[in-house]
Structure 1
Amino acid sequence: MASLARTIQSNDTLCNLAITPDGARIVASGGNDALVWDTHTGHKLLGSLKGHSDTILSVAISPDGHSFASGACDKEIRIWDTKTGHAVLGPLTGHTNSVRSVAFSPEGHLLVSGSNDKTIRIWDARTGQPVGVPIQSGSVVNSVTMSPDGTKLAAGCDDHTIKMYDTTASTLLFQCAGHTNYVLSITFSADGRLLVSGSGDRTVRTWDAATGLSLGSPLHGHTGWVRSVAFSPDGRYIASGSGDKAVRMWDARTRQAHGDQLLGHTHYVYGVAFTPDGRFLVSGCYDGLIKIWDMRSDVSDTQNSRQSNQNLEIEITSEMVRFYFIRDQSMI
């Protein structure tokens, strides 16, 4: 069972969590600004990165870690240099309503965005130019993600479905149907075989990413909207964060609850993410707390534990909307 390793206090609200591939930097959005911190010292490396004129709803870091994208309520997308904070591209314009989600392709050449305008757009991440025509989803797009091999694009929508598209042709392959409320968060397993979703219907579901078929019954346990889901790097576990203030763990194979729910947050849990080595699960909450959960059930090396925890002493003082964790090979 996971145990609480550390709590980081922020002065403002939090959502999801993430880190660059080398593990060195955290990128976050705070109001209209983007901010960058050193992961290990907690020092702010870059202050407010100005550009957006309204709240940033989503950030995504490129696979090489050199740049990150932000999507906001101002209907724009911007791309920034992770080290210098300089604007690389943007604004990327075309959406006619808030940009709710952005995601890079696995090789980093493409950027995908989903919006309240019910479209999905694909951009050349090197030039900022649109690729093809907008995909008409027919519903508000809350979450977008690409398969690990880059061939599929998935979108979680307000119409209770997940829509799977061919990335190259932008054609609809199939829909995953079964949720009875908004699909708020989706992600692929590392091997690309499974897709997991969290919904306003308070359930977590797993899907066959090749066929769109639901795998077993929905996972029940949360009493609030499931706002974030994540696969562990080895694909064994699913984590979910909910409006019921709890984080839950699930066995991805048996689809049964794994251990007790993780409690301690006092408001909606907007984000959950595993560190790249799978040792820690990080949860971010509207209550302004980041909680670091040690996924090892038999932690015996207290010296190593203390050393690891030193790297988690991060002071976050800015108003934040979203954080994200992405895979690397370092210890947070």
Structure 2
Amino acid sequence: MAETAQPNIRITTPNRSFEGHTDSVTTAAVFPDGRRMVTSSHDKTLRLWDLKGGVVLKKLVGHIGAVWAVAVSGDGQLIASGDEEGSLIAWHGETGRSLTRAIKGHHYRICSLDFSPDGTLLVTGSWDCTIQLWNTTTWEVQGKPIHCGAGVNCIRFSPSGELVAIATHNHIEIWNLRDSTPVVSNPASALLRNSRATLRTQTGRAKPDSDNPVNPRTISTKCITKFKAVINSCNSSLAWTPDSTRLLSAGPYFDPTIREWDTSTWQQVGDPWSGHTGQINALAVNSTGTLLASASSDNHVRLWQLSDRQTIAIFTTIREVLCVAFSMDGKRILSGGKDKKISEWEVPKHAPKDQASEACSHPC
């Protein structure tokens, strides 16, 4: 999709910066209480921040390799982080105390992880081409690894917790974690094509049911669809809308676009969203489902309206941007990257904020 002809707000100076890491900041996750944030870095540490004061509350040490991913549980009681060596560490959300040793969960880099909405499961994705599910009470692996056939770049639970979206070097895959019933209604091996992307689906359909949460003790998995968002290329990031009706995916440096997918059919909606000139490294949707923020290696964070897919603001940094997140109230954007710090940006006052929704999405 072509960029909007309307003028965009361009901002080059953040409200403030959070400094302390000594290498690239890879992920930022805001706590549900809106008071704190945790960040991960190539400096092998996590940092727990007070958002109001802008100060480090605690430096979390335990990884022996660069930390690529961090996530916070929905109740704020757990933090999980994954590193270059394929190790996972769980931390207490309030104190920052480590709850586990560094657990070797993968053979190579953990690039992404996410908690289920009810907090009973953690899912980790790695460049060793596998996904692991973890019981967050015992911190033991649940079931067998999911083999994706390509390195995993991003993994996200749907807001209901029933589905997991996986972005790999080759495909986007959607898995059902509740049982082995596939949820796509088209005949097996049917191939849906358009001029920009292809989609392969399998049989059956089941409506998500938030009143029937995933039971970690009886979990089974089923791949329900696999599709190529970018032909012969990797998929770098994912984000669900709060109502689960859309999945957004981001592309690499030679196709730095965002694609929107209808989750009832898994067909692409409209043309790709264009504007970035470098790989899109992270996506985040605000809690009301009205805005999308994208972080790119072109040194920009773009703010998009989901209603018309138009850019309404561009935030410029001096280095590549690797992560992005919204504050809980949706009034600020937090971005981090190769400049070794987190920058806080104000969401323009004219941006839509008041459309109701049922749940929050997770930052990538």
> TM-score, length-normalised on structure 1?
0.83
Amino acid of the structure 2 residue aligned with 1:7:
R
- Post-superposition offset of 1:16: 3.4
Paired residue type of 2:136: A
1:164 to 155, 161, 174: 174
Gap runs ≥5 in structure 2: 1-7, 179-219, 352-360
Which moved further from structure 2: 289-298 or 180-189? 289-298
- Which residue of the partner structure matches residue 262 of structure 1? 315
Q: Give the conservation status (yes or no) of the 8 Å contact 1:176–1:214.
A: no
Distance in 1 (CA, whole Å) between partners of 2:343 and 2:54 is 15
Aligned residues: CA RMSD: 2.2
User: 1:87 Cα shift?
Assistant: 1.9
CA change 1:282–1:84 in 2 (3 A) is: closer
Conserved? CA contact 1:174–1:211, under 8 Å: no
Partner of 1:240: 294
Pair 1:249–1:45, CA change in 2 (3 A): closer
SS at match of 1:85: coil
- Which residue number in structure 2 is paired with residue 308 of structure 1? none
**Separation in 2 of the partners of 1:162 and 1:71?**
21
Contact preservation (8 Å) 2:321, 2:336: yes
Query: In structure 2, what is the Cα distance between the partners aligned to 1:67 and 1:253?
Result: 34
> Is the CA contact 1:62–1:104 (under 8 Å) kept in the aligned structure 2?
yes
Distance 1:137 1:79 in 2: 24
1:112–1:122: 8 Å Cα contact kept in structure 2?
yes
Which one of 67, 80, 85 corresponds to residue 56 of structure 1?
67
Correspondence 1:214-293 to 2 at 5 A = 214-255=268-309, 257-263=310-316, 265-293=317-345
C-alpha displacement at 1:82, in angstroms?
2.2
Q: Report the counterpart of residue 8 of structure 1 in structure 2.
A: 17
Whole-angstrom CA distance in 1 between matches of 2:154 and 2:105 = 18
Q: After superposition, where does 1:107-256 map in structure 2 within 5 Å?
A: 107-159=118-170, 161-168=171-178, 169-180=220-231, 181-200=233-252, 201-255=255-309
* Helix, strand or coil at the partner of 2:281: strand
Distance in 2 between residues matched to 1:298 and 1:87, nearest whole Å: 42
Total equivalences in the alignment: 298
Change (3 A) 1:250 1:43: closer
Q: CA deviation at 1:102?
A: 1.0
3-state SS of 1:277 partner: coil
Deviation of 1:7 (Å): 3.1
Instruction: State the shift of 1:9 in Å.
Output: 5.5
The offset of 1:105, in angstroms, is 0.2
Indicate the SS of the match to 1:173.
strand
- Per-residue Cα deviation, 1:164-212 (whole angstroms, up to 9, x for no partner): 0011332110023231321111111111111111110211111112332
Instruction: Indicate the residue corresponding to 1:38 in structure 2.
Output: 50
| 1:260 Cα deviation after fit | 4.6
**TM-superposition CA deviations, 1:135-170 (whole Å, max 9, x none):** 0100100111100111001111111x2100011332
- Report the more deviating stretch, 144-153 or 200-209: 200-209
Distance 2:234 2:271 in 1: 18
Q: CA offset at residue 326 of structure 1?
A: 5.8
Report % sequence identity: 30
2:302–2:313: 8 Å Cα contact kept in structure 1?
yes
Alignment correspondent of 2:356: none
Structure 1: which amino acid aligns with 2:223? L
Q: Which amino acid aligns with 1:259?
A: I
Matches within 5 A, 1:284-303: 284-297=336-349
Cα deviation, 1:103-147, whole Å, max 9, x if unaligned, reads 100000000000011001101011111111000100100111100
2 CA distance for matches of 1:43 and 1:269? 21
Who is 1:330 aligned against? none
Larger RCO of the pair (alpha carbons < 8 Å, separation 6+): 1
Structure 1: gaps spanning 5 or more residues: 300-324, 328-332
